[in-house]
């Protein structure tokens, strides 16, 4: 059982490393911090717009949950970018 847990942890570490490398590529080559935050901002507003127009306000709880999740993801994105730019300087 310990070996299974250890192999699972190693697999998660490998996935996290690949995601970190991809995130660094996107941050350095394609997207600046403000562009990423603006995309999160647009996504939050699209979720609210879809709730109002398509679902006539019936999914308020799910909409709030998605908006909160996007806000937390945007905050984490900002914090990650801020910490990596401070390390680079």
- Which tens digit of pLDDT belongs to each residue from 78-89? 888 877 766 655
More confident residue, 86 or 67: 67
- Provide the whole-model pTM: 0.62
More confident residue, 5 or 60: 60
More confident residue, 23 or 66: 66
Sign of the C-alpha dihedral, residues 51, 54, 57, 60? negative
Give the C-alpha separation, 28 to 72, whole Å. Answer: 22
The pLDDT, as a whole number, for residue 67 is: 95
What is the tens place of the pLDDT at every residue in 10-59?
777 777 777 777 666 655 655 678 888 899 999 999 999 999 999 988 99
């Amino acid at each position: 059982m310990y070996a299974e847990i250890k192999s699972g942890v190693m697999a998660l570490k490998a996935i996290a490393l690949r995601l970190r490398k991809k995130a660094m590529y996107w941050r350095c080559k394609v997207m600046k911090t403000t562009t990423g935050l603006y995309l999160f901002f647009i996504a939050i507003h699209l979720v609210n717009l879809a709730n109002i127009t398509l679902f006539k306000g019936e999914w308020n709880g799910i909409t709030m949950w998605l908006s909160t999740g996007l806000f937390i993801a945007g905050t984490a994105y900002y914090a990650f970018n801020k910490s990596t730019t401070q390390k680079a300087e």
